[in-house]
Amino acid sequence: MSNRLGHIVVIGGGGTGIATMYDLCRRGFKVTLIERGELTSGTTGRHHGQLHCGARYAMGDRNIARECMHESEILRKIAPQAIEYNKGLFVAVDDEDMSYREQFIEACLESDIPAQEIPVPQALNYEKALSVKIKAAVVVPDGTIDPWRLVISFAAGALETQNAQICPYTEVIAINTSDEHIDSISVVDHTNGEQRTIDADLFINAAGPWAGQIAQMAGIPLQVAPSPGTMLVVKGRMSNMVVSRLHKAGDGDIIVPQRGLTIIGSTQWLSEDPDIVRIHEGDIPFLYESAEAMFPGFSEQKFHTAWAAARPLYGVSQDAEDVRALSRDFAAIDHEIADKIDNMVSIVGGKATTLRGMGEVATDMVCKKIGVEIPCTTADIVLPSHREFYKRGYHGN
Ligand SMILES: Cc1cc2nc3c(=O)[nH]c(=O)nc-3n(C[C@H](O)[C@H](O)[C@H](O)COP(=O)(O)OP(=O)(O)OC[C@H]3O[C@@H](n4cnc5c(N)ncnc54)[C@H](O)[C@@H]3O)c2cc1C
């Protein structure tokens, strides 16, 4: 599978890998995407589903906040079928939250996020289950994403170009290198146990929290900190907006309505292995208690489920206290420059909200590496429905 521009293998069928495949295909590359499970079976299928406008990050990093605002506006335009634009409400619950309010609004405005304080009675009118004790409320342009539909729309868009081949249940088990160059990858097909090798001109590591393990197979040290967090879900839709605590980003301070359910998240710790992400003892009572501060009665809702997933944070952290200090930004790394492997790029970190932008940056890097200039079009083209993916099947036929 090759053409004038060449054949690229993307490793990882989460939001990052699929958005990267989509952009590469739109620019004319032939792409094979390798995913060890079902598409979105990594962190992408297991996050809150908040469309981040960036307000949560504005105090810590204006650039990340601006990037989220920019990408969330694009996603609302190109993937309306996967987004409920219900907006977000940051609420102050105590005096400490109140002391944070002015700087928070200022930081949002400096990040081009139109944050607007509204009177408390108006907030209580919007959200009937909200605590009557809240002291202030700020509206921001957050929303709810259907994580699966969003990403599968990108996959459908890639298949539409006829440049994509998608291989689920196919795990990379070795990367075969010689003379500072990747010749091929060895994979096992979990549907029949067969092993084979796949060669390509260039390989993109988009394996999220597993990206460090993939890089290691090529002898490359890549600093990815798998940082799991727990989310708790109750039945019933307690809010219509995404409701966040108006304080420094921390644990248990985001409530996201997803269809007829309400999710509170999350907690955060470090794990050496992204496959070991068990819910920590104490997380569930902690999340109930945190939700109660914003929505009294949350604990009386019927329990639906709880799970943990690992963030793919780029960088290293020595202890759990430090995890929040790790950047939520993403990085594209050309391993020719960093590690003397001439045909591998890694794209790691970021958010589900920034998937398209990550795909654009990774594809720009590929174009630069091979010396072609092909503009990105993914911000302007409305994606096909996720349903198109199943009409075409994994191979686009
Ligand atoms: C608790 C929590 C809450 C979050 N909430 C939000 C939110 O509300 N909004 C938001 O925007 N972001 C949120 N995020 C962040 C977001 O979920 C991630 O940034 C994003 O999903 C990462 O996508 P990815 O494609 O990089 O990684 P993944 O989705 O993990 O994809 C990597 C893929 O690589 C595959 N893979 C691994 N090893 C191999 C191998 N050897 N061979 C083949 N395939 C392999 C995996 O199976 C996986 O599917 C949250 C994250 C967490 C942990």
Q: How many residues does the chain have?
A: 397
CATH: 2.60.120.380, 3.20.19.10, 3.30.365.10, 3.50.50.60. Which one for 7-44+148-223+328-392? Answer: 3.50.50.60
- Is the CB of residue 313 below 6 angstroms from any atom belonging to ligand 1? no
Q: What is the residue type of 65? A: A
* Model pLDDT for residues 355-365, shown as the tens digit of each residue: 999 999 999 99
Q: Determine the Cα–Cα distance for residues 23 and 122; give it in Å rounded to an integer.
A: 42
Strand partners, 11: 34, 205
Q: How many CB atoms lie within 10 A of CB 275?
A: 10
Which protein residue has the closest C-alpha to ligand 1 atom 31?
A: 14
Is omega for the bond preceding 346 within 30 degrees of 0, making it cis? Answer: no
What's the pLDDT tens digit per position in 140-189? 999 999 999 999 999 999 999 999 999 999 999 999 999 999 999 999 99
387/82 Cα distance (integer angstroms): 11
Contact 136, 68 (CB under 8 A): no
Using a 6 Å cutoff on CB, does residue 57 contact ligand 1?
no
Q: Which residues of the chain have pLDDT under 70?
A: 1-3, 316-325, 397
pLDDT at 228: 95
pTM of the prediction? 0.97
Residue with tokens 């302007």: 380
Count the Cβ atoms, other than its own, within 10 Å of residue 82: 24
Ligand 1 near 210 CB (within 6 A)? yes
Q: Which runs of consecutive H residues, i.e. helices, occur in 244-294?
A: 283-294
Domain boundaries, the chain: 7-44+148-223+328-392, 50-145+225-314
Indicate the fold that domain 50-145+225-314 takes in CATH: D-Amino Acid Oxidase; Chain A, domain 2 (3.30.9)
- 284 is written with which tokens? 């569930």
The pair of structure tokens assigned to 371 is 């010396």
